[in-house]
Every structure is written in C-alpha cells, then in structure tokens.
Structure 1
Amino acid sequence: MPWEQLLEQCLKNPRIDRLLEENRITPESAQSLSAIQDLVYVSDNNGRLHEMFPGTIVKQAGRVLEAGAETEVVIGQAGEIDVAVIDLEVDRWNVGYGRNWIGFNARKWAKNEASYLGFIRSALEQDRRPSEADSILELDSAEARRVVLRTLAKRVWEADFESYSRFTGQKLIFKTGDETVQNIIEGGGGICSEKVQALKFLTDNLGYESEYLLAGPNARKPVPEERLRELLTTFEFGFSKRFMRYWQHMALLYHLDGVDIIVDATNGNIPFLFLEGPEAEGMLNCREKVPVSVRMSLHEESFYYHRVSQDIPENLLFALEGWIPEADLIQVIENELGLIITEGFYVTPLLYKSRREFLDLERQYKGACESVGLPCVVDEEWSLDSEIGREFAGQHPLASGRVMASRQHLLSRYNASEGLEHEAGMVIVGLGR
C-alpha cells in the first residue's frame, strides 16, 4: 500500500471509536494519536484536517519515501506473538510555523465540549446558585461576559503552578490549552505558558477576543521582536538570555465590550491580575511602564508586560510543544520553576552523580536561602520526611503525592539528556507567606 494511502487511513482518518470499542487501542493512545494528527496535518477554521504541513517528510528504515512509494512490512513481536508491522517515521524538522490556531482549538473543543462546558459551569457555581450560573452563561450582557472572564481566570489562577504533571500521568513534555484544562479538572495545573493557553482556549471558544502579552524580569525596553523570531528559527539559545527574558512569562490582554483588560491567571506567586483603565494603560505604556513586583521563590523581581506581534508567542508555544524535546527539563531546572510553587512552598529536584556534587549543591541552596531568611531542607533522598516536607504534604496532599510519583520519569528523562547514573534528591523551601 502506498504510504500516502496508509497514513490517510491510519493517521488522518482512523476509526478511533471502533478501535476503542474493540480494545485495539487504549484511551491514552487515542489521545496521543490525536496529538500526532495536529502536528502532522493542517486544519481549517472548523477543525477539519487537510494536507500535511509543508516540509513534512515520511521515512521508513531511515529512507525518505518518495510520492507513491510502497511501504514494507516487517515482523515484530508483541510479547511472544509475531506481528506484522509497518514502521513509519514522520520527520517534521523542516516544517514551518503553519498551525491554524483557530482550527486547532476548534478541533480540541469539539472532541470534549461537554467536559469544558462543565468546567466553566462548575467554576461559576462555586459561589452561585445553578440557576444564576445558567443565566450568566447566556453571555447576553457586558456584566455577564465580565463575570465569566474573571471567574474562569481566577479558577485557572487557583490551580497548581506545577511541573510535576510532566512526569506523571500522561507525562506530557508541554501541555496545550485543552490539555491544561483537563489537567486542572483532574486536580493539577501548569506553568504560565500552559495556564495562559488554558484560559485563552476556554474564552476563545466562548467568543472572547484576546491576545498574548509577553513579560519578564527587568524587561523594560521594547521587545526585541526580530531577535526572538531569529531564536525561534535557529533554536540557538546560548548567550541569548538577555532576549529570552522577554518571553519568560505570558499573560493575556482582552478586548471586551470596548474595554482592554489585562488578565494574568498564572500564579506561581505572581498576583492575580484583572486590570483595566489607567492601571492597564500604565503597565503597557511604552515610555513609563509600571512593573509588577514578583517573588516566585527566593528573589523579588520587577516584571514588565508588553504587547507583541502575535506570531512570536504563538510560534513559541508551537515550538515548546513540538520542537524543543527537553522543554520539560528546561522549565524545571534551567528556568528554576521546580516541580511546584505555592504560596508557602517551593519544591524542586536535586540531581547529582556523587556525594561531593550533592554537598556542593546543598551548600549553594542553603546559602541562597539563608541570604534571604527562608528555611529550607536539602535532602539527598527523594523524600518529604522533614518538618517542612510534612507541612507541605499536609497542606497539599494531592500535589505532594504527585511530586513523590514524579521521581522515576524525571530521573529517566534527566539521565537520557545528561548521562546515566544520576541520583535524585529534593529541595523544599518554606516561602513564609
């Protein structure tokens, strides 16, 4: 069978419901298949899949398949059973930033609309009667639209600012908006770039208009847009921190009934922002920007927010999803976001190869915490068996369980990236808020 016909049948238009019904595919594999579809095929505004992204190459056994080439069947094993296998590789390295975000989100929404609407309703019903929530969800007044936006933003903000879910459950390296909403429904959360997508995903499908904002510590000057575009083409991030600080954080600017509203629903000890009028204008003013004072973990910083050409944040999100294979480790370790940041705790892994390396890292962490007057425990083991650890587990039982469960996959990912034989300890800082 020609490879085009095979992929049309098995990837683009598989009968997933039938495969699930016949137990030929697991629900998790069905979700993975859907994610692969969105990385391979262009969608229209209604979410229908069309041709492959330009630049996509299909290979078999390392050989590029020309148009119309027949695929080869090889014999593999499932347990002790011989099975016929057609093993194809989809090479996306030369694919550009061609995602249709309207169609992508429409497709995701249609797959699980009832769940997303249920999430929206449950957020409204936290402090309202069901009948009142029904009335508000009609969105037939400016006040109703404002209430829904603020309620959803606060619900997303309240979800964990975490990366433990990168190493538990589906172990997604980077979550899209719909995946982050589902993770929040299941008790998890995400980091800023995931949470901002979650809120935009929900509100886009309710008909709201918004755009991404970029923000970062001491990023006061205008956004170096061309340098950021260049980084998203070359992926040469070395010696570029002075530029990358501009996309260290993300928020949203809503255009609602003639009013611009800045919404930051990310948390990680960044305050909940729902600002309009002079406050919003001051934050986005090109000449005299007003920063937001932030202390995510140890140090207080001034975050400056910027409007930006939307191709930059959209392409950054696409790159994190599909082109930066170690995005999970980068966020946790290099960007120092750890596994979770709450109002009272910062929990991060400590990865080392030798006792000497551990002691050196322990000295660095304890010195940094002492310099700002914060208590911390640096444990050579993956353990919450300390006073601070027990406090964290008591206040965050679900999150602490997932932190403990994240060790194996985190260590596996780190060893694959940095070499084998690392050990995993844990650092817990009491933030004292």
Structure 2
Amino acid sequence: MAVAAAVCAAGSAAADDAVARPTAAAPSGWSFKPDAGYVYQSGDFKLTTWGFAERLFDPGGHDAYRRVRQGAEVDFPPIASGLRPALVYEIDLTDSNFFDNGIGGRSGFGRRDFENLFIALQDPDDPGRFRVLIGENTHILSRDDNLSSGNLATINRSLILEEHGSVNSFGTQFGVQVQKAFSDNLTLQLSAQDNRGSFNTPEPRYRVGNSLAAKMILTPLNDPGAGRKLSLGLALDRTGSIRDRTFTLATAIAQTPLGGVAATGNKLTWEADAAYTFPLAGHPTTVEGELIYSSFSQSRSAVGGGYAMLQWSAFETPRSGDLDLFLRYDLVSLEQDSIVGRATQRAIRTGANYNLPYTRKLANLHLEYAHNTVSGPAAIVTGDRLKDEFRVELRISLQQYVRH
C-alpha cells in the first residue's frame, strides 16, 4: 500500500483507480479489467463502472455491512489538446438503510447516498498528470485507505484520520480540487471546499473556500523492477467556522467512544506521511507512517498523533492466494487549555490480510486485533481505559486489492 496522494488523482482514489488508459487500438464494446472494473469503450468515449461490498463480522457484537458501493466514471471525447471532460459518481447504499426501505421516502435512495459526484477536466490518458474537478469529493488530506474505494480494508485505517472525522475535517466535501504533476517525482494538489456540508448531509452547504488545503507529494525513488518505491507527502489545511463539534477519541476497530473535548473555531492542520516499499527476504515489504497536528482557535484545543506500520507479504500464488501480515502502532494526544493534563490514546494492532485463491485479488479477508489504552484527566476520558477488540472483514470488489 502506498501513500494515497501518490497513487490517486485530486483526492479521488475511486475515480483514478477506475481510469484505464485508452489506446488507438482500444476495442469497442464491454470488457472486464481487474484493476478498473467493467469498461465500455467506443472510440474516444469510455464508461468505467465498479462496485464493492464490505461485511464485518464481530465475534462479540453485531455483524453488519460496512459499505456497499457502486460507482462509475464517464470519459467523454477530448475537447482540446490535453483536456478531456469526465463525470464521476459513487453511491453508498448502506448510509440510508436502502436495503430496509428501498427506493422512495426519506430513507430510500437520494442525494445523501452520494459519496462522490463531480465533473472534471483532466489529462486524456492519465488524470494523475492533471485534473481539475468541481463537485462532491473527499478532502485531499484523506489517504487512500480513507477513501470510498480505497485499497486498505475498512478496519485497518489511520486512527487519527478517522477521529478527525468527528469535526468533519477530511470526509466528503463540496468544492474545487486541482492536481498537477510537474514531473515524475513532484505533484501538487490544491483544494477549496466546504467541510460543513455536502450532498450526503441533512443540511448541505456550498460555501466553497471554507476549507483551503494544499499538498505536495514527492516520489524520490520509484524502481518497479527492483520493487522499491519511496513516497513523501506534506500538507496544510485551514478550515474555518467549525461550530458545535467535539473531537472524539474512539477505539481502533469498533470506533467505540472513549472521550473528547470541544473542537470549534478555525482549524489549522499540518500533515506529513511517508511510505517505503522494498523487498525483504525476497518478499514485498512496506513501512509507512503519518503525523498530524491540528489546533482549534475558539475551543483552544489541540490534537496530535499518527501511526507507523510494517506490512510484509508472506506469499503470493494463484493457488494459495496472497497473504500479508501487518503490525502497527497508533498514537493520539488530545488537550484543551481549560483542562489540566492531556489524554493519550494508544492502539497496538496486528493481523493478516488475505486475497483469496483464484479470485484475481477481487475477494479479500481481513483479520485484525487491537489493544486499546487511554490515559488522562476524567474531564476528557469518559469511556473504558482498557479495551481489546477483534474483528473479521470480507471484501468483494470489481477492482483488485493491491497493497505494495
């Protein structure tokens, strides 16, 4: 698994994974491409559609579908040299009890099911080189594992990014995003969005510019032949007018609340991430990490933390499948000026990620154990201070699950 911004265009991993580069000899009609989904090609017109479902199994609790999503990208013929218009959408049918209520009514299918819905002008062959989009999309500080069609299983995502969701920081937003690759080693992303409301919120708001962000992605090393790649990212986000929100500490897997403090006013966030892939004993290995620090002006609160993870491919064959083992450490520190002391949350997480045999990496089984601990003043920590979690996830997709 690589840093999201290094492998997705303008914050939309779903759309970028779905883009298959056209060629002059591209066949007409329908075809299936495991790295993209079902593709319909007719000259310069192309439709790529994908979907996936994630089922969570909790030995000590309730089993549920975490996500059932379907999306598509429509690539229209180029309108100028180097520019192609496109339309992208993705819906989540688990957000509004669709399967219980069907189409119609407040809980049926509607605008609140849209996770992505935008129009774009982009490079005809590779949106990673250039893309400008307008509409609903995830924030550019979102990593690949935090995006709708991300390659990392739901229950193994960045804890501090998940917790930032409690202040609407890096989720789905409405606005404008731009990405430009200046070389094979340098990419810049810019966005002006509104983190307070979008299509899938009860009261959508579209004040573009309430959240301003920029991210620089460096790839100083990329040698596929040697199995080595190094990606570095540095980002800044300024979000204004956050009201009536609480930064919530939560457990690593089940997201059980552990405590929190008010998080209001203007938010300033710094983020840095890195990922290095290399062979170890002849097997692909990835070491990655992330650091985030955010301050909130009105509530005079601040949070910092991140994670580090080692992921190692034990084996990969069509007959035996594809098994990765991982070990990671998450840390979050939360404080507020009016409270003496700070809360420190830790999670040690380990498990296995298995692409099932003969599925072409389209079916994936994820097992994860987390040991959660939290310490700090009672004014912040209100939940259990020690908790172990275990969960299993099955993911079926029309796009291959790739980690390194």
Determine which structure has the larger helix proportion and give its number: 1
Whose radius of gyration is greater, 1 or 2?
Answer: 1
TM-score w.r.t. the length of structure 2 is 0.28
